[in-house]
Amino acid sequence: MKSTRKTRHFARLYPALGLLLVFSLLLSACAPPAAAPAPAAGATPAAEATTPPAETPAAAAPAAEADTMTGAWVGPCCNPIDFLNPLSAGGGYHWFNKIFSHLVTYNLEYTEIQPDLAESWKISDDNLTWTLNLRKGVTWHDNTPFTADDVIFSIELCLDKKVLCQQSGPLAVIAGAKDYIDGKATSISGLNLVDANTLAVTTDGPSAPLLDVFAETWIVQKASLKDVPRDNLDKNDYWRTKSIGTGPFKFSKFVEGQYIETVAFDNYWRGKPKLAKLIRREFKDPATALLAFDAGEIDFTYLTRDEVERESKNDKAVVIPGPSGVDNAITLNPKANPIFGNPKFHQAILYAIDRKSIIDSIYGGAATTVPCLYGNPKYYPETIEQYDYNPDKAKALLKEIGVDPASLGKIVMDTYYNDQLSSDVMTVIQQNLADIGLTIELMPLDGAAWNSRYYEKGESQMSFIGGANGADPNRAYNYFYSASPTNNYKYSSPELDKLLEGGRQEMDPAKRADIYKQACTVMGQDLPWVFLWQTTRYGLVSKRIANFQFTPAAGGGTYYDQAEKWEIVK
């Protein structure tokens, strides 16, 4: 058996637009979130259940068959299986890319963009027009040809304001997108069909991260979706009965709350998959999924840090670690209390949290503090404030801004994380904040309940989330640019806006890095999120699966994992 393990330096959830952002940007999912929308979390994370429910009844799961792999995409990667629309889901990229595809993708290490549905591309001398040469011979799961018309349809669908789509904000750089979104045009002028296999995309200005955006923009089939009503697209039966893509596996069966079954797509352009079936079973939390793994019922799941030592002794399994590409952070809702929007209040909270002790004692050293959104040190200025543990300084800041902690009463900190490790982390944070006089009540919720509280109702006061920091530093634009639809609490900084605009338009990598160092300084001062740390995450795969490639990327990860080569050890 060959199990390939590789890691990367950083990844992307997840943010997305609207309610479902939580599952990819935040996550960890990805919070103000799943574009992923990957989060992510950040918010756009993959959410987990608050109270572990009973495990999925064995009778409800499909019977084990030869050449069938069963997995549990649950925990910090993914939404529940009922989130079947890839455009809005935010999390679960590692699952969705078995069915659907992108124009481009990342390598396993997240160090370079690779071809996918687009086999090559070039950019004009003025850096405004990208010409994409689409791969010939690619067919949809119904064996009809994939064409550039499908790409135009997918982008216009994502930018339709009636549709919840993770990448609506990032794709708005395409010329004519604003008029289309505002209903002033019925098509997007910057999308030009050259021929069936060639597409020219023109942007309003230079857009260095456009390929990164395309790496997370799902391409869906025009023929089967064009007549589907766009209002409440998530709930349409299309996703539960058809879900036609171009990936290595095609949708076969969905049993609500139980499992999704896919079968090998014989005409997949990279070659027929070696697995006959790939099944995703539903579990409401990682703990019950791990029980099923240990019982031999499933072949893959995610693993939390506190379970790594035990599973490392499992001679039938391989533990796969890697940088998550996700920041855990605390968000504060200024609508709940105006003081929650004061940067010095955020600074006081960060000084009060003993991050080093939490990382050493709970994460076992498998996490790294971050001074701003970015997990890549190349974007850290040398002089940035690190906010080392200093409760006295925290108290002094509260006094400086005239805050009597007792006057704030009880502050509820909600989360979609419900594993024991995250519970332990939040308990320590609760105790740290009590030391400076803040009374925190912890409220773990399942993903749907948290999504409703945070996005739909706007009732959250304080949230413990995860947000993808991204393979490209443009991710900060999604979360913190003042006009971004995924800037959930409407943080606004003219200085940061200018830097993020400049970083997006600068095509020189070295100059971009300098711009994002300045952006990191602003984020580190204002703390639009209270940035905590980036963790190591873990996957767990059975040794009965050969050629399995995986990295614990944000939102589940948009990278080429060679799924068509996965197979059962004979």
453 lies in some domain? yes
311 lies in some domain? no
Comparing 13 with 504, the larger pLDDT belongs to 504
Comparing 38 with 404, the larger pLDDT belongs to 404
pLDDT of residue 75: 79
pLDDT of residue 245: 98
Distance CA(128)–CA(157), nearest Å, equals 22
518 lies in some domain? yes
pLDDT of residue 185: 97
108 lies in some domain? no
58 lies in some domain? no
**Exposed / middle / buried, residue 195 (Cβ in 10 Å: 0-12, 13-18, 19+):** exposed
Q: What is the mean pLDDT of residues 181-196?
A: 97
231 lies in some domain? no
CATH number of domain containing 338: 3.10.105.10
**Domains in the chain, number:** 1
62 lies in some domain? no
Torsions phi, psi for 27 (to 5 deg): 170, 135
Give me the residue label for tokens 């959104």. Answer: 373
pLDDT at 381 over 90: yes
H/E stretch holding 343: helix 343-352
Contacts of 232 (CB under 8 A, 6+ apart): none
Least confident of 146-150, 260-264, 449-453: 449-453
Contacts of 126 (CB under 8 A, 6+ apart): none
**Can you give the three-state secondary structure of 324-373, one letter per residue?**
EEEEEEEEECCCCCHHHHCHHHHHHHHHHCCHHHHHHHCCCCCEEECCCC
> Residue 395 sits in which domain range?
324-535
**Exposed / middle / buried, residue 29 (Cβ in 10 Å: 0-12, 13-18, 19+):** buried
160 lies in some domain? no
pLDDT at 286 over 90: no
pLDDT tens per residue across span 48-96: 222 233 333 333 556 557 799 999 998 777 888 988 999 988 788 899 9
Rounded to the nearest angstrom, the gap between the alpha carbon of residue 124 and the centroid of all alpha carbons in its chain is 31
Rounded to the nearest angstrom, the gap between the alpha carbon of residue 155 and the centroid of all alpha carbons in its chain is 19
Torsions phi, psi for 133 (to 5 deg): -95, 110
pLDDT-above-70 percentage for the chain: 89
Arithmetic mean of pLDDT over the chain:
88
